[in-house]
Structure 1
Amino acid sequence: MAETIIRFGIIGCAEIARKLSRAVALAPNATVTAIGSRSLDKASLFASANNLPPDAKIYGSYEAVLDDPDVDAVYVPLPTGLHVRWAILAAQKKKHLLLEKPVALSAAEFDTIIEACESNGVQFMDGTMWMHHPRTAKMREFLSDKQHFGELKSLHSCFTFAADHDFLENDIRVKPDLDAHGALGDAGWYCIRSVLWAADYELPKTILALRGPVFNEVGVIMSCGASLYWEDGKVATFHCSFLSNLTMDMTAVGTKGTLHLHDFVVPFQEKEASFSAGSELAFNELATAWVPQPSKHTIGTDLPQEALMVREFARLVENIKVKGLKPEKKWPTISRKTQLVLDAVKASIERGFEPVEVGK
């Protein structure tokens, strides 16, 4: 039986929406049906510049997209400060919701979004694309292998990029009224997610923000980091920044094995991605070399990770729309845990780098 084509509406013409519209075009079970902006001209320019289908509807408001009966799901790349309003309205209009990260300004705010989704029977997923790459599933196999990886002991994650002057002055991610979390909400979201993913989504007990965060002149975080502590002794650290060279490293260390990768957010290449793994690593007799050496694992994919995300989201929407199934709770649960850790990091910074217990 052929897959049902899920019809997407996009509200907002942010730069990331270009990537998502391409992903929808590549996904075999999705299409862009509508694009909406606060300006009809801007929506028209987006449609032509990004090769949207010729029959895609072009609207000069977000509301028009949500009111369109031909739209099954919406992608919302709006600034975080606008998420509550538009995500809740989308849910109330029975539109399944693919929401950019960070999902909200706080976990309490996110809870209102999820309540709207649950009460209206709509699927929620956030836009953390690397979660959907086949490499991620292959790495999970290694971390779950007690014989070769053992028990997770520590995790280290880093996502930085050197933003240019225009970004640091004008991007929504440096504006307190639009994306008040700054680098913590943008790059830091990926770091926090990687930590939770490696820990199989077990929340840490305590968060301690690292000293020395950098703020811009209006108080938005440009660079920061934190340590995370679990009751069983696991520890993790992460660093995120708009002010350092592009780096996307993640290292998970177990009692018997180690996993490394250097491009966890966006793979070096679109059609394949690699990681290195080693078990029971040691030195040779004179400690001049490693024996054995970590092995490299390369995983190919026919679709880029963002298209795989769209395909999975559309499949879940089809399950609801055609098969009468309930929305999958896995994705909002993961989003909420990520937001809880983000909230605790920010609280630790605001409290003078005191330890903060993670909320529930």
Structure 2
Amino acid sequence: MAQTAVRFGILGCANIARQLSRAIMLSPNTALCAVASRSIEKARKFAADNGLPSTVKIYGDYGAVLDDPNIDAVYIPLPTTLHAKWAVAAAEKKKHMLLEKPVALDVAELDLILKACESNGVQFMDGTMWVHHPRTERMREALRDERSFGQLKMIHSVLAYNAGPDFLKNDIRVKPDLDALGALGDIGWYCIRSILWAVDYDLPKAVVAMHKPVYNDAGVILSTGASLSWEDGKVATFYCSFLSYMTFDLTVLGTKGALRVDDLISPFQERYGSFSLVSESDFAQLEQGRWAPAPREHRVGSEVPQEVLMVNEFAKSVGKIKGEGLKPDREWANISRKTQLVMDAVKASMEKGFEAVELVEYI
């Protein structure tokens, strides 16, 4: 039996909502039915600028979307400081929820959101798109190949972009009352998620923030990093910044091989993503090239953009709840919580003078 389309409403007209409105319309199992902003004029402009169908309802109040009985799920791209309020409200109205990252200011706030989702039987997923790309599963397979990759030893993730003076002065991601986590929340979230992904979401034992983070005058983080360590000897480092050249790199090193990707969160092409893998290589004679064997590029196709795959995956879970009476898939909530725990530990280490913070997963 074909799944009935999951009917979406969007709370907020942030720039990322342009990408997700398109994804919702492209996904075969979703329909965009409503868009809301704090002013109906802004919502109307968003609809016009993005060519939304005339059937999409326009609201000048977020609560109106939650009160609409014809909405099954909501996408929430609001500033992080508003997540707890509107995510809990959405759950209480039985709206399934795709929540933009970072999902909360801290794990205590996230737990309030997840408790509301659990109590009301609604599906939760955060907006980390790259994990849904087919490339990600192919990279996972490469890391699990003990013959060519060996035992995982080290991970390094760098996500940065030189945001420019206007961004650094006016964007919500540098405002303490809107997105107080700054670069740590906006792109550090991706760094942490990529590290946890590489270790099958095994939480580290300890986290140490790097010295000399950069803050703006309002105390919002513009640039920072950290190291993570596990009891079995694995280590990881990351760096995130609004002040450095655009870089979306991930490197994973094993005892026999290394995997590298340089467009992790946003593939250069919508239709495919690439990564390089080198295994048991060594220095070669000059006439044979510098490396033998040379790194191999693996190109993984995707019929649709990764954000469409994310929306489609979310909608499948919602469809199983609506159509088959199944319970929500809690794995996505668990992954979000682990990411938030590590982010909290990085911030705690910064506040404690860059001391090591032992990470405990709270029950």
TM-score (normalizing by structure 1)? 0.98
Deviations 1:200-228 (A, max 9, x none): 10000000100010000000000000000
Q: Which amino acid aligns with 1:7?
A: R
For 1:254 and 1:331, the matched residues in 2 are separated by: 27
Q: Which amino acid aligns with 1:97?
A: M
| Alignment partner of 1:107 is 2:134 | no
Bigger drift between 275-284 and 228-237 goes to 275-284
For 2:52 and 2:337, the matched residues in 1 are separated by: 32
How far apart are residue 359 of structure 1 and its match?
2.7
Deviations 1:94-143 (A, max 9, x none): 00000000010001110110000011000000000001000001100101
What does residue range 349-360 of structure 1 map to in structure 2 within 5 Å? 349-360=350-361
Q: Which residue of 1 aligns with 2:23?
A: 23
Aligned-residue RMSD, C-alpha? 1.0
SS of 1:17 mapped into structure 2: helix
| Alignment partner of 1:250 is 2:287 | no
Deviations 1:163-197 (A, max 9, x none): 02111111110011111100000010000000000
For 1:323 and 1:147, the matched residues in 2 are separated by: 41
SS of 2:225 mapped into structure 1: strand
For 2:258 and 2:192, the matched residues in 1 are separated by: 19
For 1:21 and 1:288, the matched residues in 2 are separated by: 48
Q: Which residue of 2 aligns with 1:145?
A: 145
What does residue range 23-42 of structure 1 map to in structure 2 within 5 Å? 23-42=23-42
How far apart are residue 146 of structure 1 and its match?
1.4
For 2:168 and 2:160, the matched residues in 1 are separated by: 14
Bigger drift between 282-291 and 80-89 goes to 282-291
Q: Which residue of 1 aligns with 2:339?
A: 338
Q: Which amino acid aligns with 1:346?
A: K
Q: Which residue of 2 aligns with 1:81?
A: 81
Bigger drift between 233-242 and 50-59 goes to 50-59
How far apart are residue 46 of structure 1 and its match?
0.8
Q: Which residue of 2 aligns with 1:267?
A: 267
SS of 2:58 mapped into structure 1: strand
How has the CA–CA distance of structure 1 residues 195 and 81 changed in structure 2, closer, same or farther, with 3 Å as cutoff? same
| Alignment partner of 1:292 is 2:303 | no
Q: Which amino acid aligns with 2:301?
A: G
Q: Which amino acid aligns with 1:256?
A: K
TM-score (normalizing by structure 2)? 0.98
| Alignment partner of 1:3 is 2:35 | no
Q: Which residue of 1 aligns with 2:207?
A: 207
Bigger drift between 41-50 and 197-206 goes to 41-50
Q: Which residue of 2 aligns with 1:325?
A: 326
For 2:94 and 2:313, the matched residues in 1 are separated by: 19
For 1:279 and 1:201, the matched residues in 2 are separated by: 24
Q: Which residue of 1 aligns with 2:194?
A: 194
What does residue range 31-180 of structure 1 map to in structure 2 within 5 Å? 31-180=31-180
Deviations 1:2-42 (A, max 9, x none): 23211000001111101100111111111111111110111
Q: Which residue of 2 aligns with 1:308?
A: 309
For 1:189 and 1:36, the matched residues in 2 are separated by: 26
Q: Which amino acid aligns with 2:46?
A: F
For 2:112 and 2:2, the matched residues in 1 are separated by: 36
Q: Which amino acid aligns with 1:292?
A: P
Bigger drift between 143-152 and 10-19 goes to 143-152
Q: Which amino acid aligns with 2:311?
A: V
For 2:152 and 2:22, the matched residues in 1 are separated by: 37
Q: How many aligned positions are there?
A: 360
SS of 1:244 mapped into structure 2: coil
For 1:23 and 1:99, the matched residues in 2 are separated by: 15
Q: Please list every run of 5 or more consecutive structure 1 residues that lacks an aligned counterpart in the other structure.
A: none
Deviations 1:46-70 (A, max 9, x none): 1111122211111110000000000
How far apart are residue 255 of structure 1 and its match?
1.2
For 1:225 and 1:284, the matched residues in 2 are separated by: 35
The percent of aligned pairs where both chains have the same amino acid is 63
SS of 2:116 mapped into structure 1: helix
Q: Which amino acid aligns with 1:74?
A: V
For 1:309 and 1:50, the matched residues in 2 are separated by: 20
Deviations 1:301-360 (A, max 9, x none): 110000100010011100101111110011000000000000000011111111111131
For 2:55 and 2:290, the matched residues in 1 are separated by: 61
How far apart are residue 282 of structure 1 and its match?
1.2
Structure 1 stretches of at least 4 aligned residues deviating more than 2 Å after TM superposition: 285-288
Q: Which amino acid aligns with 1:352?
A: G
Bigger drift between 98-107 and 285-294 goes to 285-294
SS of 2:248 mapped into structure 1: strand
